[in-house]
Structure 1
Amino acid sequence: MSTGTTQRVCFQLQVDPARLDEYRDRHAAVWPDMLRAIEASGRRNYSLFLREDGLLIGYYEVDDDDDAQAALANDPRTARWEAEMAEFFVTLDGPRPDQGAPRIPEVFHLEDQLAALDPDAASATTRTESSES
């Protein structure tokens, strides 16, 4: 549903409910090298959301997700991080959690719909939000 070159990616994983506190602690202090690897892959605006039952929702934006996936798959920092994180997940359907995570299709994006109505409306909304910050 994305327009332009930015892809918005949302995915779902299941964290073992018995390990939520440890998972939160690990993500409160992600290794600096891992943060740099994610950034170098082209992912940005990356967030994780975790419910008390272990449902984890991730979201990020990227220009080319295939390129980002390949960059991370070939990065030894990512391999070390993913190996340590794998034990937190209840089920995995791939060699790494980010590869096996089911994607959640986007069904609505405000800016896309505003732009379809009036290209100036979306930019006006962005300007208004920026000035209110």
Structure 2
Amino acid sequence: MKTVAFKMKLKPGNEAEYKKRHDEIWPELESLLKENGITDYHIFLDEESLSLFAVQKLKENSTEAELPKHALMKKWWEYMADLMEVNPDHSPVVIPLEKVFYMK
């Protein structure tokens, strides 16, 4: 299993709405993520900087790289675009994070 981490950025004033939308994540989106090999997904918010820190565990045969092509993923991005920094295609601006420590 591979673990990846990345950060994203909220626009000011959207903390509660971002959490609400994720508390109500579409069941079909959750299924899609799992079908593409994402087995564990956490998002943490730094309220001071509005940075979102995400950690995902990916199965060895995961196909998460295909998610941007899926219509449902694009629909979710469009739904979330008003809350966070996004690219022209509405995908979130994602900055990969490098692992510098791990403790078992």
Residue 105 (structure 1) aligned to one of 80, 98, 102: 98
List alignment gaps of at least 5 residues for structure 2. none
TM-score (norm 2): 0.86
TM-score (norm 1): 0.68
Q: Which residue of 1 aligns with 2:86?
A: 92
1:65–1:79 CA distance, 2 compared to 1 (3 A): farther
- Residue by residue over 1:75-115, the C-alpha shift from the partner in whole angstroms, topping out at 9 and shown as x without a partner, is 211111111112211x3356311xx300000112223xxxx
1:66–1:58 CA distance, 2 compared to 1 (3 A): same
Aligned residues of 1:17 and 1:52 also touching (Cα < 8 A): no
| Partner Cα distance (2:39, 2:83) in 1 | 24
Give the paired residue count.
Answer: 102
Cα drift, residue 66 of structure 1: 7.5
Aligned residues of 2:8 and 2:95 also touching (Cα < 8 A): yes
Aligned residues of 2:36 and 2:62 also touching (Cα < 8 A): no
Q: Describe how 1:25-104 pairs up with structure 2 within 5 A.
A: 25-53=20-48, 54-63=50-59, 67-70=63-66, 72-89=67-84, 91-93=85-87, 95=89, 96-97=91-92, 100-104=93-97
Higher relative contact order by CA 8 Å / sep ≥ 6: 1 or 2? 2
1:43–1:37 CA distance, 2 compared to 1 (3 A): same
% identical aligned pairs: 22
Structure ID, larger Rg: 1
Task: List, as ranges, runs of 4+ consecutive aligned residues in structure 1 with deviation greater than 4 Å.
Answer: none
- Residue by residue over 1:3-50, the C-alpha shift from the partner in whole angstroms, topping out at 9 and shown as x without a partner, is xxx221101011012111111111111000111111111011101101
